[in-house]
Structure 1
């Protein structure tokens, strides 16, 4: 029987249009006994490698293609109402040359021709036609449009042009069968007539957008989500047509009048033979010194590094250096180490703070070459966890940089290797369970509250283990119950299940950067970051662009805020104390640092802050960097249960014991407690006889919680313990049970050592250079008013005053103000003021630096420009307190128009040539005469600060109510959140409210209440709201009683009573 081959299919990489997931599509093709299948997503090649791999795995020939958009004129022309017109064309790669041309065409479409859609033109097609087969396209193709217009002469001209471009043997008339869709019948008849008249072969396609007929509603919903409409308004395909993945039998029935069109699908598939080489590592072209190999250069680099670190006479270091170099050499990885070492050399020479995380810190070669600053011998970090003779995967250094300077390292890579050889890696956002439910509810015309109510019943997933709707049904009885009894909820959930996991958008990976030895377009299609017209990203994601796919060198350049904080803090110390600090050489036995941690003063620290971690640190009273590393590793779901015993053993309250005598060899520093993922690996090797080859499979099974692999490894481990260590089955099972908490959550030891190091560095700076460090933290957190409030509270506890902005002492960011008589202070920066642009801040500071401080209001006005200092910015300066030195806020605000008039008069004087910009020629303006008025009330003053700075600075409204709150027996919010399930009473100010209408038509409110310690969401149900609706206005000070609840994964107070103390509304 003739096989029908799908040559025009859209996977879910046809963003928010295709619904078919690649694995499902390929499996269905196999189920239907199709020997080949094509992929032709809209204008991009996002899913090509996944598709190719899935086809090969399932014994199906992959036919790689793209449905491209042809510009109406040139791809470079982008004139409104003219160039938004475009045509569809289906292109398929015959061979590797065709695949390469698809990459180049797709890249050009995005980088050169993008205008509403990624477009190419016929000029490009002529240049890149080799190895391609063209199908004339759907009715939206150029041929289809000519037919629809009734211009058959134009239709024939279109055909001849494409035959000339691709060659007559490589051009087919694409025909479909969707009789319910407007114009299809006429289009189909015309194609058959043209085929017979011009002797051009027809080829049948389905233009599949989903897999099964019952997916049609889900697909329509997906399109409604894309177009921000609901399915009642969506006219996709005129609401008609079937676009599922048809079988050969269906195709033969649909095209029974033209069976040759079905036969031609198989003939085309036979002609398409793309063979990709995947999994072969491709390193950047690193410039070697004349006459030297990469191996020799790495040997020299590490030898010099050993001398520089004073380790060149240590026989243990030399032995391990030689061993690691041999493994690296045999695997041809020396170029990779040189590339990474060079990038980090640039960063450090540029004083960009950096660290490396992950198992790479277990490499002595990395330490000696300057890649890491963690000595793996000192911390007993195994090289083999990173790289060993048996491990097939390539080494992968994860590099962290100060987030405000990360781009500098990327730009360096572009300069060194060529801008066309470096790009950030694209990534795909998918529809997750909760989001899919909300989207489906909206797209099917349901009220927001309906989707939100169902979505909130879905438990939150965890990192690496996203929650699915099916799994949520198993975990949450109420969700299952609502599914079974509520038809509306069932419809939403059924559609959402089909949509979850579907690609929603493309964006930039947070860290991934790829470097190639030749222009990237030789390997991977690229495009612009959707949020930038200059930043280029790959269309293949981190998995398909790297070792699992085409093999390019993938590097992680992650921006870390805490490194920027350290860098800024060190700079501030130099600026204000004239003290140089080398953060990599600070002592790791500083008593002041450990004393601070033992007291739980962790706000603003890396990895060590937060209520739970702080509690454990206070109990632990750490004394060494090893304690810090252990806490970083243990404070994770699962291993967290070992913290109490770790603390007890460290403090001598519990005896140090080992589950087997051999365990002391690798668990001595952790008091016999399993802390790191490496501890599990050494347990398996020492007790069960694994080696570095087999233990890698054990690691993956435990780390990824793969049930089948776990069962297999469980059996191997238990039997191995019996034969290798003489343990009983019961003893082996007891040890295996110790691994359970680490499934999916274990930190490797090298990673903990790297993060522990940075955590300690932040603690050291806070303990020894408090004002500078906290100033750096405030600058880094600018924009997050909630976090700023927490940091200011910590500053107040530490005795560091935080002052409002001041026109004479504020700079752009938070600033340390030296004070000879009392403690140093921190001053708000000008950029923290809402409605004050960067241009105003720059002008104010530049003028102040050039001429000197502003002496009074007249001087400030005299030296300002109206085009910079407008009404909005001047009002912001007054209200936030930046001009307090020149007069009371309300008086200045009352005289605002008078002040602005003076600014404009001064501007006219400058323009007339009577004076210059800085007022050093010509007469000064007469003194300002301000009309007196009453001072601003304290509450209004505080509200101005909240409006413009995001928080109360000079005071807090609650300070006036502390005694009354105390009499009400309220619990501080920071303490209340630890009482899940308990009834508590809190007092605070309402900062935000959201009213909704329930299904029964009654209003309820979600409100945010904050006190001096924290904030919490308060849920006010209709019966409570109706008793006292006036209490729930923003800025009201209330006392609320209710039960703490975390059903949705976020703590809330379910309010049952409220009392109003005051209202600032």
Structure 2
């Protein structure tokens, strides 16, 4: 009798998860019910799976609300009815129009209006839902006209009194008000729950026809969806499977000739083997659609990187989906595709951040809006954010809430009664869905219209998005195409373009094998000259490559994976480095480790290595090994699954007679990968892009660093990349209205910072100032700039203070006088070209007004985030620059020395005793990097005090030839005071 049941997917309203909802229904004797979440169908497919498993008949529906008011319910009679409901909501979401007060004429949907809220005649499929509290209003009325239209309406939002209180907090969070301001109209009723078996029927006993009507309506609904996971993806590319197969084979063989030449028997054998597996698993369409996407993007001149396990496939390599040669690296195809797989593997295709949306738009237009959608995601209430939200609803002051979220006050907070109350609510709210969002790059391409399975949202991105996440999509039967973006590709794309413009040289950035064999490129890799380069620029990666002496593609592929937390935290990173330097002294745990992992010196580095060991050392089957692999990739982080695999691993290894102590150590290494590590193909893809970046940095460093700056991506902030530009001979100029564009530009060795980097400058003027200059010539002075752009006083002052009008040869102070005299009291821009005649401004005699370098440096700190007129070291009050420089550290191992370093970045980690320690990275006065280690016993709670220079006392330590500073004492140095303030 429950037509109006809600789950947690009625966001910030319902309190029960789908499994909890079904369990509560069973305990209340419910045999069939309608899930009708508010303005969404997120939970419908999960609801049907759960009900089918537990023996309850599921019925799909939706509750439509506008401005907190219930308009009507839609109850699907069948699968077509669910599509009608989803189409109806989708239309209003995508066109951003309000829901109508009356429902449309559905064909396969029952519409239920709340009793008392609908006036006029009801259509055949329309009913009135009456709550048990409203039954008294029927007394003495002539019901003949509506007798067959009355239904039992008992909403379900909560489970018990405690959940009602939780519901009130959720409503407060949703409405952004304190608890006392949540009105009765804002929340459900305390009785909006399942009743004990028979009680609801008893409340309607005086009107048995209402129960009959309700029962009959529910009995007529059949959710005729297939049970269990089925393949719902687009099934063919050409329209016929036979044609797909023939086309894929033709493309693969043509690609083989491009990649390997005509007579490579090894490649041909491998291609034929892969094609056979692809045919048998019916994945031809998946490969062809991915190829089609790559073909389109290539036709537009877009550069992509194909990564992930897809790079294990020679067919993918021949289709130009990836640039990783699986023969060269002896990649493990079965990691990508094997007979145990029921769903297609992932291809991760990266594009430049400014090209991805066009690729997505092509997919929508090519495969149709009814069959294409972006993948959604569900953000949940988490950690400190919940505490803040609960605290606000309770009406607590910000300072008190800040105290509750301060981890250093954890011991004090435990005894605070208010905090204990927050924790009690937190424990019930944790991980509840909070809001729907958009996946990083997943796209679905379906065989049937996608609204059979979900309504669609229109997030800010502007493309239709499903209402559930990748995990739910996979359970239903949808597999995503990952169309991703990253700034690293933007760096490469722009650098290639700048080299062509600035040096008139064309670069084929895909000649990666030449880059890999270039001694200058490999020298920079080995010595850590990699700032700005994709994946190899962080202090940790630079340190690792220097410890390895990394100077080849194969070693970099391994380094890209052993930097991951799973390998590093297990101690296997250090083991790998040690063995890499002394391969003749490697001691293998077991002959199987030597046989299967000789290339990595007996160390499990990649996901494939773990699979190999599970199969060949422990005797596990391929299916369990793949489940373990999926757990490592983060797709199934299930503790229960890992516990089962631990038991199976040990049992099967014992059957093979493996020694207990060796089994224990091998499992320790295997389990350390849980949730971390890369596939070898993924690491290889990253290494290809790293080499492309590093080639550009090696031979065209100025253009490359400009590309990095203009793509606003990278590990470091802009100041460091500007310093890198200066180190490689770039003459970096402050922004100038007569030379700068919106972005950084380069001409020869001269580099002008872009207007976009000026804090506080309006976007309009960032584009208008250079556009007007290109159209009508350089500006002659401040007055000319004001007249031609109609810039206001505030924005004009910003340009003056940053030095963008220095071409006038007037000091900033003179220009500030001039702009105030020119504009008078007018502070805002007016209409452009309002003067009929040019009138010369009055000239005034001013005293000599000069700006000092120190004043300029402070202006730049404020408006750019870093000084260009002076270095951070020149700003120090002290002239002391330390006992030694970074390049001399290796000659002072074991000594305690003092250094002065400019802060670059820090990383916080936790020790085995759960104490915090830090790794720091600094520049010395010569611009060279050095690393610091801050152990808990020598480190205050918050050792870093932001940007600036620090005096560091520490002991020089060395590991694998890499020197760093183990910090004993540490303090930020004062800088010269701002002369304007002082």
* Same structural fold, with TM-score higher than 0.5 when normalized by the shorter chain: yes
Which one of 48, 52, 58 corresponds to residue 52 of structure 1?
Answer: 48
Query: 1:1050: which partner in 2?
Result: none
Query: 2:116: which partner in 1?
Result: 144
Query: 2:489: which partner in 1?
Result: 563
What secondary structure sits across from 1:273 in the alignment? coil
In 2, Cα distance between the equivalents of 1:1054 and 1:896? Answer: 52
1:92 paired with 2:82, answer: no
Which one of 284, 288, 297 corresponds to residue 347 of structure 1?
Answer: 297
- Contact 1:135–1:174, Cα closer than 8 Å, also in 2: no
In 2, Cα distance between the equivalents of 1:630 and 1:601? Answer: 19
Give the CA deviation at 1:966. 5.7
1:132 paired with 2:109, answer: yes
User: Structure 1 residues 979, 265: closer, same or farther in 2, change over 3 A?
Assistant: closer
Query: 1:23: which partner in 2?
Result: 19
Query: 2:964: which partner in 1?
Result: none
Give the CA deviation at 1:257. 4.9
1:645 paired with 2:550, answer: no
User: Structure 1 residues 446, 105: closer, same or farther in 2, change over 3 A?
Assistant: same
Query: 1:888: which partner in 2?
Result: 811
In 1, Cα distance between the equivalents of 2:143 and 2:969? Answer: 73
Which one of 538, 546, 556 corresponds to residue 618 of structure 1?
Answer: 546
What secondary structure sits across from 1:781 in the alignment? coil
Which one of 788, 792, 795 corresponds to residue 870 of structure 1?
Answer: 792
In 1, Cα distance between the equivalents of 2:480 and 2:522? Answer: 38
Residues 926-956 of structure 1: CA deviation (Å, up to 9, x unaligned): 8966744522344443333233323323225
1:315 paired with 2:294, answer: no
Query: 1:963: which partner in 2?
Result: 878
1:779 paired with 2:710, answer: yes
User: Structure 1 residues 351, 1036: closer, same or farther in 2, change over 3 A?
Assistant: closer
User: Structure 1 residues 937, 987: closer, same or farther in 2, change over 3 A?
Assistant: farther
What secondary structure sits across from 1:293 in the alignment? helix
Which one of 770, 774, 790 corresponds to residue 845 of structure 1?
Answer: 770
Which one of 711, 720, 726 corresponds to residue 790 of structure 1?
Answer: 720
Question: Which range moved further: 350-359 or 413-422?
Answer: 413-422
Residues 535-562 of structure 1: CA deviation (Å, up to 9, x unaligned): 3222233333x4421x345211111111
- Contact 1:974–1:1014, Cα closer than 8 Å, also in 2: no
- Contact 2:631–2:675, Cα closer than 8 Å, also in 1: no
In 1, Cα distance between the equivalents of 2:757 and 2:813? Answer: 21
User: Structure 1 residues 522, 694: closer, same or farther in 2, change over 3 A?
Assistant: closer
User: Structure 1 residues 456, 348: closer, same or farther in 2, change over 3 A?
Assistant: farther
- Contact 2:904–2:947, Cα closer than 8 Å, also in 1: no
In 2, Cα distance between the equivalents of 1:67 and 1:578? Answer: 63
1:174 paired with 2:123, answer: no
Give the CA deviation at 1:481. 7.9
Give the CA deviation at 1:67. 0.8
- Count of residue correspondences: 927
- Contact 1:327–1:388, Cα closer than 8 Å, also in 2: yes
Which one of 827, 843, 850 corresponds to residue 752 of structure 2?
Answer: 827
Query: 1:539: which partner in 2?
Result: 467
1:241 paired with 2:168, answer: no
User: Structure 1 residues 8, 987: closer, same or farther in 2, change over 3 A?
Assistant: closer
Query: 1:232: which partner in 2?
Result: 180
For 1:605-1004, list aligned pairs within 5 A: 605-640=533-568, 641-652=571-582, 655-700=585-630, 704=636, 706-724=638-656, 727-781=658-712, 787-818=717-748, 824-854=749-779, 856-857=780-781, 861-862=783-784, 865-866=787-788, 868-886=790-808, 887-900=810-823, 931-956=846-871, 959-961=874-876, 963=878, 972=901, 974=903
What secondary structure sits across from 2:74 in the alignment? strand
- Contact 1:1035–1:1063, Cα closer than 8 Å, also in 2: no
User: Structure 1 residues 192, 14: closer, same or farther in 2, change over 3 A?
Assistant: farther
Question: Which range moved further: 212-221 or 189-198?
Answer: 189-198
1:271 paired with 2:220, answer: yes
- Contact 1:895–1:930, Cα closer than 8 Å, also in 2: no
In 1, Cα distance between the equivalents of 2:952 and 2:659? Answer: 59
In 1, Cα distance between the equivalents of 2:908 and 2:350? Answer: 37
Residues 180-206 of structure 1: CA deviation (Å, up to 9, x unaligned): xxxxx5x85249946566323543333
- Contact 1:894–1:933, Cα closer than 8 Å, also in 2: no
User: Structure 1 residues 258, 952: closer, same or farther in 2, change over 3 A?
Assistant: farther
User: Structure 1 residues 655, 929: closer, same or farther in 2, change over 3 A?
Assistant: farther
User: Structure 1 residues 250, 792: closer, same or farther in 2, change over 3 A?
Assistant: farther
Residues 1018-1064 of structure 1: CA deviation (Å, up to 9, x unaligned): xxxxxx99xxxxxx99999999999xxxxxxxxxx999999976543
For 1:234-633, list aligned pairs within 5 A: 234-237=182-185, 241-252=190-201, 254-255=203-204, 257-258=206-207, 261=210, 265-277=214-226, 279-284=229-234, 288=238, 293-457=243-407, 482-483=413-414, 485-517=415-447, 519-529=449-459, 531=460, 534-544=462-472, 546-549=473-476, 551-586=477-512, 587-633=515-561
Query: 1:1006: which partner in 2?
Result: none
- Contact 2:596–2:612, Cα closer than 8 Å, also in 1: yes
In 2, Cα distance between the equivalents of 1:863 and 1:480? Answer: 60
In 2, Cα distance between the equivalents of 1:668 and 1:325? Answer: 29
User: Structure 1 residues 291, 56: closer, same or farther in 2, change over 3 A?
Assistant: closer
Give the CA deviation at 1:381. 1.4
Query: 1:1005: which partner in 2?
Result: none
- Contact 1:213–1:244, Cα closer than 8 Å, also in 2: no
Query: 2:87: which partner in 1?
Result: 104
Question: Which range moved further: 975-984 or 220-229?
Answer: 975-984
- Contact 2:854–2:870, Cα closer than 8 Å, also in 1: no
In 1, Cα distance between the equivalents of 2:81 and 2:764? Answer: 51
- Contact 1:862–1:924, Cα closer than 8 Å, also in 2: no
User: Structure 1 residues 263, 936: closer, same or farther in 2, change over 3 A?
Assistant: farther
- Contact 2:28–2:195, Cα closer than 8 Å, also in 1: no
Residues 291-327 of structure 1: CA deviation (Å, up to 9, x unaligned): 9700000000001101111343111211111111111
User: Structure 1 residues 575, 542: closer, same or farther in 2, change over 3 A?
Assistant: same
- Contact 2:537–2:715, Cα closer than 8 Å, also in 1: no
In 2, Cα distance between the equivalents of 1:370 and 1:1035? Answer: 44
Name the Cα RMSD after superposition.
4.1
Give the CA deviation at 1:755. 1.5
- Contact 1:281–1:547, Cα closer than 8 Å, also in 2: no
Unaligned runs of 5+ in 1: 71-83, 138-142, 146-154, 178-184, 459-477, 819-823, 915-922, 989-1010, 1018-1023, 1026-1031, 1043-1052
Unaligned runs of 5+ in 2: 884-897, 910-914, 923-927, 935-940, 955-966
Give the CA deviation at 1:799. 4.8
User: Structure 1 residues 667, 800: closer, same or farther in 2, change over 3 A?
Assistant: farther
Give the CA deviation at 1:394. 2.0
TM-score w.r.t. the length of structure 2 is 0.85
1:7 paired with 2:6, answer: no
Give the CA deviation at 1:866. 4.8
Give the CA deviation at 1:728. 3.3
In 2, Cα distance between the equivalents of 1:373 and 1:785? Answer: 25
- Contact 2:80–2:452, Cα closer than 8 Å, also in 1: no
- Contact 1:390–1:692, Cα closer than 8 Å, also in 2: yes
Give the CA deviation at 1:237. 4.0
- Contact 1:173–1:195, Cα closer than 8 Å, also in 2: no
User: Structure 1 residues 428, 957: closer, same or farther in 2, change over 3 A?
Assistant: same
Give the CA deviation at 1:742. 1.0
In 2, Cα distance between the equivalents of 1:615 and 1:452? Answer: 37
- Contact 2:381–2:433, Cα closer than 8 Å, also in 1: yes
Give the CA deviation at 1:848. 3.4
